[in-house]
Each structure stands twice: as C-alpha cells, then as structure tokens.
C-alpha cells in the first residue's frame, strides 16, 4: 500500500509548480502548514471568489474530477488500472464509482459565464506566474 502523503504527477506545469514550491525545504518539512480545516475554509473562499459556490464543489471534487478528466483523456498512461494505483484506491469498484460520478458531473455541470471568465483569468495568471525568464509576471489587479 502506498503512503498517504505520496502523489504521482506527470503534468509538466504541475511538476514545475511543485519543484518551485519545494525549493528550500529541509528533509522532513511539509509543503504546507495548513490544517484540514484551514484548507476547507480556503477552498470555500476560493469557490466564492470564483462564483462557483452554488455548484456544490467540495475538496474531494478535486480527486473525482481529476480521475474523471484523466480517464476521459483516454491515453495509454491513464488506463483505469494506472488510475487506481495513482489514486491510491484499494478496490477497482471504488475507483469506478469515482470515475462514473466525475464523468456524470462533467456532462451535467454548466458553469456561469462570469465564473468561466474568472477561472480563465486565474489559469492565465497561474501559467504566467509559473514561468521564469523573459515572459515575466503579469499584474492581475
């Protein structure tokens, strides 16, 4: 069984961000000092800022949405067997429940236009802030 604190990343931008965040960490230090309650509060505040609070997203939505999106992509690297291992599910039926629920949600959810615009702006800001070199940082105020 994999340790709880282990994740597997193969997305280039996510790996860049993780490397940046880990710079200067000493052995045994954690990436975040945020408690579970603080994370849930931050998640709720982020949803409110993006006008997504009415859609019922919860922190576990990240896991469900991630596995559904990876499965929908359908590459050889995202077979259900690989996703079960990466998602740390012990049973294939449990992973299938997550995939099915995520795919159903993806097909049914309609995001408000204002929320989509804010999410696109934040994605652009994240990509800009994550790149070093000549592109620089964009001010999002």
- Domain residue extents for the chain: 8-24+36-52+113-131, 58-110
Q: What is the pTM (predicted TM-score) of this model?
A: 0.64
> Taking a C-beta distance cutoff of 8 angstroms, is the pair 68, 106 a contact?
yes
pLDDT above 80 (res 130): no
> Taking a C-beta distance cutoff of 8 angstroms, is the pair 99, 68 a contact?
yes
For the beta carbon of residue 131, count every other beta carbon within 10 angstroms: 13
Write the pLDDT tens digit of every residue in 106-127. 888 888 889 899 988 888 876 7
For the beta carbon of residue 30, count every other beta carbon within 10 angstroms: 8
Write the pLDDT tens digit of every residue in 54-84. 888 899 888 888 888 888 887 555 678 888 8
């Amino acid at each position: 069984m994999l340790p709880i604190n282990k994740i597997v990343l193969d997305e280039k931008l996510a790996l860049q961000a993780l490397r940046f965040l880990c710079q200067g960490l000493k052995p045994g230090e954690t990436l975040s000092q945020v408690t579970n309650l603080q994370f849930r509060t931050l998640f709720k505040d982020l949803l409110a800022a993006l006008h997504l609070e009415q859609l019922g997203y919860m922190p576990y939505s990240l896991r469900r949405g991630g596995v559904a999106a990876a499965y929908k992509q359908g590459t050889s690297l995202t077979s259900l067997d690989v996703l079960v291992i990466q998602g740390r599910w012990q049973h294939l039926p449990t992973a299938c429940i997550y995939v099915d629920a995520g795919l159903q949600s993806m097909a049914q959810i309609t995001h408000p236009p204002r929320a989509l615009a804010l999410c696109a702006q934040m994605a652009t800001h994240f990509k800009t802030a994550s790149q070093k070199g000549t592109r620089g940082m964009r001010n999002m105020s």
